Structure formats: C-alpha cells, structure tokens
Structure 1
Amino acid sequence: MKSITVQQLRERQGVPLIDVREPDEYALGHVPGAVNLPMSTLGERLHELPDAAFDVICQAGGRSARVVQALEARGHDATNVDGGTGEWIALGFPVER
C-alpha cells in the first residue's frame, strides 16, 4: 500500500484528496481542498472517486489505510496519508471549516 506523510501531502500539487471521516468530523476542520466521502457511505459512492490517482485521509490514518487497501483491490490508484488530519493540524498547517 502506498502512503505519504502530511508533510509530503502539503507539497503535492494537483492530486485530489478524499477525506473519509464522517461529515461532523470533516466540518470541524479539514485539509484545504479535501472532498468528504465518508467511509460509511463510500460503497455506494464509488462513482464519485477520481479516475486518476488520488490521496485518502482520515483523522489518524487507520480508516484511510483500510479504504486504500479496499480501493487498490478494485483497481484504484489510491495513496494513504499517514498521520491524517490530526497530524496535519498538530503541525500547524491550515484547515478549512
């Protein structure tokens, strides 16, 4: 499974970011530009995923790792963000609400 750090995420350009946390978590603060597709509803929303490579983030990296493994098995080019939104915020990077 491919993964990147939050520092690497901050440097990336043009790669879509999917936030798989629940809507209430997402509303409390998310990485700028992240699109919310909650893990709980992802099965019925697979058609909303990008066709090209994309990154997947959650709060700490556990849920997104499980999602990336499942999506890779379906042929998607997904990369997990280790440390998740929690680490992004802890490092003082900007968030959207």
Structure 2
Amino acid sequence: MLPEIDPQQLAQMRTAATVTVVDVREADEYRAGHVPGARSMPLGVLGARVPELPRDRPVYVVCQSGGRSAQATRMLRGVGVEAVNVRGGTAAWIQTGQPVEHGTATEATR
C-alpha cells in the first residue's frame, strides 16, 4: 500500500523546517501555483535528482491530482527515499483553502 497524507495534514506539518515537499509537475504547472516552499522536480528528471533528497526524514510528493505523485512516490521508495504521496495533489490543496505560491521554481527545502 502506498503511504499517503491529505492536504490538511501536510498543511499542519509544512511549517516545520524539516518538511520537504517535492512537486513533480512540469515547470509551467509549478509556476501557475504550488504548495509554498515546494521544490520543483518534474517527474521526467526526478530520477537524476534523487541525490538531492533527504534520506533521514519523509519527502512529501505532490502533483496536480495525485497520479504522477503516486508514480513518483513508488519510484522514490524503490530507491530508499521515505516518500509519501499527497492525496489529491495541488488541486486538493487549493480546494481546502491552503496558501499557494506562484512563480519560478524554488530550491527551498520545506
């Protein structure tokens, strides 16, 4: 079973400096609106960027609706990253009234 978290749970946790959120959507989707502080790592390049991810804590993976992030979560778990899928993706994040950042990719770790 794929570990998942809902947007409300992520919102409560993401203020901690040790929370890493990875957005696996394409750059244009990310620029249109993303979880504040999320790192942009499009699914197509995620495999090459695995070394950038922490191995000592969970990594929360988000896309638009949950499909790509589920795929990314499986891949990351297969290489030893404690990845957790964000159920419903950015769409669910927005629907629950959570804040959204717009603009270019950030390397901020949260």
Does TM, scored on the shorter chain, surpass 0.5? yes
SS at match of 2:76: helix
Once residues 40 and 54 of structure 2 are traced to their aligned partners in structure 1, the CA distance between those partners, rounded to angstroms, is 13
Once residues 48 and 59 of structure 2 are traced to their aligned partners in structure 1, the CA distance between those partners, rounded to angstroms, is 18
SS at match of 1:45: helix
Once residues 73 and 47 of structure 1 are traced to their aligned partners in structure 2, the CA distance between those partners, rounded to angstroms, is 14
Once residues 54 and 25 of structure 2 are traced to their aligned partners in structure 1, the CA distance between those partners, rounded to angstroms, is 18
Structure 1 residue runs of 4 or more that deviate by more than 4 Å after TM superposition: none
RMSD over equivalenced CA pairs, Å = 1.0
Once residues 80 and 47 of structure 2 are traced to their aligned partners in structure 1, the CA distance between those partners, rounded to angstroms, is 14
Matched AA of 1:8: Q
Once residues 54 and 42 of structure 2 are traced to their aligned partners in structure 1, the CA distance between those partners, rounded to angstroms, is 15
How does the TM-score come out when normalised to structure 1? 0.94
Matched AA of 2:96: L
The correspondence of residues 2-17 of structure 1 with structure 2, limited to 5 A, is 2-12=3-13, 13=16, 14-17=18-21
Once residues 53 and 73 of structure 2 are traced to their aligned partners in structure 1, the CA distance between those partners, rounded to angstroms, is 12
Which residue pairs with 1:27 in the alignment?
31
The answer to whether structure 1 residue 89 and structure 2 residue 94 are counterparts is yes
| Structure 1: gaps spanning 5 or more residues | none
| Number of matched pairs | 97
SS at match of 2:37: coil
Once residues 73 and 51 of structure 1 are traced to their aligned partners in structure 2, the CA distance between those partners, rounded to angstroms, is 13
Q: CA deviation at 1:59?
A: 0.5
The answer to whether structure 1 residue 78 and structure 2 residue 79 are counterparts is no
Once residues 77 and 83 of structure 2 are traced to their aligned partners in structure 1, the CA distance between those partners, rounded to angstroms, is 6
Q: CA deviation at 1:51?
A: 2.4
Q: CA deviation at 1:71?
A: 1.0
**Identity, % of aligned pairs?**
48
Q: CA deviation at 1:33?
A: 0.8
Q: CA deviation at 1:92?
A: 1.8
